[in-house]
Amino acid sequence: MSAPSTGALRTSALANAAAIAARHADVFSPPLAQRLLGPAVVALVLGLFAYSLVVLGFTFERVWNGLERLGYILGYMLPPDPGKHFWKYFHALGETVAIALLGTLLGAVMAVPLALLAAKNIIPNRLFHFGWRRGLDFLRAIDVLIWALIWINVVGLGPFAGILAIAMSDTGGFAKLFSEAIEAADRKPVEGVTAAGGGAPHGIRFGILPQILPIMISQVLYYIESNTRSATIIGIVGAGGIGLHLSDTIRLNEWQNVSFLIVMILVTVAIIDWMSTRLRFAIIGRRA
């Protein structure tokens, strides 16, 4: 790690250090305000952090006792063991995957017409574009768990509410992404199709669709990955899947079951990630 300590440039630079500093005053002695900016930001960040800790009920005693209890809990978790409930958990896991898959696909299907309306090159009205986009943002801003609670009121407890919840919150996200893909599509292939004698439907089918379909499918796959994670917790509010068992076993202090459920979730998420990555590569090639 030691650096060379000899060299003509270094020697001459050190000899003229004062002159160089005077010539480049902006680098060597910046104004006071600029120098204070860094420490001020750090002080602000740390001050707000200390304030947060006070507001959030931090005490050393609480942390110490909590860590001790956490240690016990981790001890009780080993080894992971489903007890007699393996098939029940397995079924719930199937529900979770079903929720993620169907919710995502339903969201994607609903998003297509909304995306067409949100694309600037289809409806070139600025005011409409802005309003529509904000509406889609609103769908997205409401958490999946909140949508789940609302849909439980409509279709009752169970995975169906979970599917609808995921579909609802994904619709906004998909519509935004799809409309961006439509806006970014190149018009030249359509001209090519027209030049070869194709009509407007041909232009969409052979000029536009091949450009946006791979993007759409890859986004759907990506969302299925992330929704599998969401679907594991959606059961906590009663909308189906493995989350219900997770929160039940935690409340009942059945820690070996808890750790087994967590391991099941991790394995499932890893498998879905792997599958969707493979599928993405197969559909759009190695580049994305």
Partner 1 sequence: MATLPLPTNAPATLQRLDGYRAEQAAKRLRTLLFAAATLLACLLAAWMGEVDLAKFVENFHKFPNYILGITPQLRWATLGEDFAEWYWGWKRWGRLLIDTVLIAYAGTLLGLVGGLMLCFTASANLTARRWLVLGARRLLEIQRSVPELVYALIFVVAFGLGPFPGMLAIAIHTTGALGKLFAEVNENIDLKPVDGIYATGASWFQAMRFAVLPQVMSNYVSYTLLRFEINVRGAAVLGFVGAGGIGQELLGAIRQFYLPDVSAILLMIVLTVAVIDIFTERLRHALIGMDART
Residues near partner 1 (CB under 8 A): 1, 3-5, 10, 45, 48-49, 51-53, 55-58, 62-63, 65-67, 69-70, 73, 94-95, 97-99, 101-102, 105, 137-138, 141-143, 145-146, 149-151, 153-156, 158-160, 162-163, 229-230, 232-233, 236-237, 240, 243, 246-247, 250, 253, 258, 262, 265-266, 269-270
Residue 227 makes CB contacts below 8 A (sequence gap 6+) with: 99, 100, 103, 104, 166, 170
Q: How far is the CB of 150 from partner 1 (least distance, A)?
A: 6
Q: How far is the CB of 55 from partner 1 (least distance, A)?
A: 5
Q: How far is the CB of 73 from partner 1 (least distance, A)?
A: 6
Q: Give whichever of 117 and 160 is closer to partner 1, judged by the CB atom.
A: 160
Q: Give whichever of 123 and 250 is closer to partner 1, judged by the CB atom.
A: 250
Q: What whole-number distance in Å separates Cα of residue 158 and Cα of residue 239?
A: 5
Q: How far is the CB of 185 from partner 1 (least distance, A)?
A: 20
Cα 231 to its chain centre, rounded Å, is 13
Count of CA atoms in the C-beta half-sphere (13 A) of 284: 18
Q: How far is the CB of 284 from partner 1 (least distance, A)?
A: 13
Q: Give whichever of 97 and 181 is closer to partner 1, judged by the CB atom.
A: 97
Q: How far is the CB of 273 from partner 1 (least distance, A)?
A: 9
For residue 191, give both structure tokens: 């001209």
CA torsion sign for 275, 265, 85, 148 is: negative
One DSSP character per residue, 194-239 reads HHTT--HHHIIIIIIHHHHHHHHHHHHHHHHHHHHHHHHHGGGGTS
Q: Give whichever of 112 and 187 is closer to partner 1, judged by the CB atom.
A: 112
Q: How far is the CB of 122 from partner 1 (least distance, A)?
A: 26
Q: Give whichever of 19 and 124 is closer to partner 1, judged by the CB atom.
A: 19
Q: Give whichever of 123 and 217 is closer to partner 1, judged by the CB atom.
A: 217
Radius of gyration, alpha carbons of the chain: 28
Q: Report the alpha-carbon angle 105-106-108, nearest 5.
A: 65
Q: Give whichever of 141 and 184 is closer to partner 1, judged by the CB atom.
A: 141
For residue 72, give both structure tokens: 């016990």
One DSSP character per residue, 27-63 reads HHS--HHHHHHHHHHHHHHHHHHHHHHHHTT--HHHH
Please tell me whether the peptide bond between 113 and the residue prior to it is cis, using omega within 30 degrees of 0: no
3-state secondary structure of 121: coil
